[in-house]
A and B are shown apart, each in its own frame.
Chain A
Amino acid sequence: MLRFTLNRLLLMIPTFIGLTLIAFVFIRLLPGDPVLLLAGERGMSAERHAELLAQFGFDQPYWRQYLDYLTGLMQADFGISFSTKRPVLEEFMARFPATLELSICAIILASVLGITAGIIAAVKRGSWFDQITMGGALVGYSMPIFWWALLLIILFSAKLGWTPVSGRLGLMYFFPHKTGFMLVDSLMSGEKGAFASAVRHLILPTVVLATIPLAVIARQTRSAMLEVLGEVYMMTARSKGLSPARVVGLHALRNALIPVVTTIGLQVSVMMGGAILTETIFSWPGIGKWMIDAITRRDYQVVQGGLLLIALFVMIVNLIVDLLYGLVNPRVRYD
């Protein structure tokens, strides 16, 4: 197990170097002079222009820039944002908890509902529940989620007034954001109503972000369960006289969940993409919105650093999923 983990970590290194190269090349391909963009409408003198180019290292040859960039990365230096003049890593870390909180809530919602619905649909194959669930799943993974978000806002925010349209918390609450997770911070603040406000802000974005993973997980669980239910050892379990609940809950579920774990892991990357849309629509101050803003402002350093950090996060999650896979599936031997 330890050897496998180390092995996988070592394999991540060439991939990571490849990622840095791609991020580096992409940003150099972007049109426009980065320093002139920094000056904006006012423009700048030729001396100042040269000075700034030197300061950011843009006057160096590309290979030199890339080496400097790699050296910086080794020291956790992801560059400085052009527009805010603050370190990219610091900006990322300030926003990441918002995205993480949203994604965790969405993946929990999607997994719990998806697995439950998938199991029931498989056990009651062909029933009306099965047909409605699978119909719903088809609609779910065909959904343009940005449009779905607008529909939910029309219904729950505009018509019913149940949920707020944007942000993470009501404006009247003010307390230190120690962890960055609004649910935790609002609970710890002890302010009355703060937690409820945080929850109400979280509901719609969570539902939107969970929609596609929910549909995929429900379908995957159903087909995995159907496959397992047809196995010979299931017949053995039933003929031993075990109760149906035990047969389905213990014998079938444990085997069916193995592929589902992989599916859930794969959904993390999908959700990072979904977070861009969800955060834009709900003005959620996470990394998705941050990246979109950086792209429209042409803040190269942020795009470059953010691209890398998000990819790194996805890689780490995939590694964790691979390790978990071994835990739920004892047949996998790591060495």
Chain B
Amino acid sequence: MSVADTEKPISPLVENWHYFTHSRGALVGLIVFMFMVVVALISPWIAPHDPAVQYRDAFLVPPVWEDGGQWKFILGTDSVGRDLLSRIMVGARYSLLIGLVVVAMSLTSGIVVGLIAGFVGGRTDTIIMRIMDILLAFPSLLLALVLVAILGPSLFNAMIAIAVTNLPHFSRLTRGEVMGQKGLDYVTATRVAGASRLRLMFRTILPNCLAPLIVQGTLAFSNAILDAAALGFLGMGAQPPTPEWGTMLADAREYITSAWWVVTMPGLAILVTVIAINLIGDGLRDALDPKLKRS
């Protein structure tokens, strides 16, 4: 057997997975995140109660471990007698959906805008980047708030608004990567071989720009969950009685002295989810960034 046979090159996927699992944090984040995904997917079947049903004889029941808690409502109930655990489980669907939709929207539009700006260059580039600079001058939450005010408060409009605030980040990142790749030999070679502009942009250059975009995508995912919850909290996101975690906190303020669990539980769900995603993001960055490898 020759040496070449035994030293087959490792596929990049395997290599990156190897570096990713090197970090304990990233692995913990991934496990927690997968748990959230599973809960979200099967929540209609495993939730102990219907999240919208109001138990008229059980207003503000504390969690089981507190005095007066009931096994029927493990995490307690809210001010109109809805089961908190069920609402948080179903709420996971909304938060993960928000993250997914926002990242999908801002990633695709950001890639297209950034590719055009970076590839075409010249005046097109200047104009696009100026517009992105202008969008960046507004604090993102404020911009999202005004956009939602225009579109009308709803969960979907909140997602669109957050995606718009993310757009400049993705397009600037893509543009920067494209500018770096554009002049490299492999691109010239493909061009000389007669590849069309679109092919050059999407098939040749884009795959080589993906690593930082994936990392930025994870960051945007967790930020989208935070922003959507903030919008919901301010009454401009998902509307009650939707069990979105931020919306659940909107009227919890009245119960800070009387029923702490109404305030604590939905926020804890947001925090744990966002931490898990950020851990994954950190792990991905370490795995995908060649500068940091083996350091």
Chain A residues close to B by CB (< 8 Å):
14-15, 18-19, 22, 26, 29-31, 138-139, 141-144, 146-148, 150-151, 153-154, 158, 269-270, 272-274, 276-277, 280-281, 291-292, 295-296, 298, 303, 307, 310-311, 314-315
Contacts and interface: CB of A to CB of B under 8 A. Distances in A.
Contacts of A153: 256
Interface centre among B139, B249, B253 (most CB of A within 10 A): B139
A29 B142 contact: no
Contacts of B246: 144, 146
A314 B139 contact: yes
Contacts of B147: 26
A142 B137 contact: no
Interface in B228-276: 229-230, 233-236, 246, 249, 252-253, 256-257, 260, 263-264, 266-267, 270-271, 274-275
Contacts of A146: 229-230, 233, 246, 249
B270 A147 contact: yes
**Count class of interface residues, chain B:** 35 or more
Nearest to B148: A295
A106 B150 CA distance: 31
A18 B134 contact: yes
B150 A30 contact: yes
Given A154-B263, A276-B145, A315 B137 contact: yes
Interface on chain A toward B: helix, strand, loop, or mixed SS?
helix
A302 to B, nearest CB: 11
A26 B142 CA distance: 13
B146 A142 contact: no
Nearest to B219: A141
Contacts of A18: 130-131, 133-134
B222 interface: yes
B169 to A, nearest CB: 12
B149 A273 contact: no
Given A18-B134, A303-B146, A311-B137, A141 B278 contact: yes
B234 A144 contact: no
Interface in B109-164: 130-131, 133-142, 145-147, 149-150, 152
B224 interface: no
Given A144-B226, A147-B270, A151-B267, A295 B146 contact: yes
Given A303-B146, A307-B146, A314-B137, A150 B253 contact: yes
23 contacts: A15-B130, A15-B134, A26-B146, A139-B275, A142-B278, A146-B233, A146-B249, A147-B263, A147-B266, A147-B270, A150-B253, A154-B260, A158-B256, A270-B139, A273-B141, A276-B234, A277-B234, A295-B146, A295-B149, A303-B146, A307-B138, A310-B142, A315-B137
B141 A276 contact: yes
Given A151-B263, A154-B263, 5 more contacts: A143-B274, A147-B249, A277-B230, A295-B236, A314-B137
B279 interface: yes
A273 B140 contact: yes
Given A150-B253, A303-B149, A138 B279 contact: yes
A147 B142 CA distance: 18
Contacts of B140: 269, 273
Contacts of A274: 141
Contacts of B267: 144, 147-148, 150-151
A19 B141 contact: no
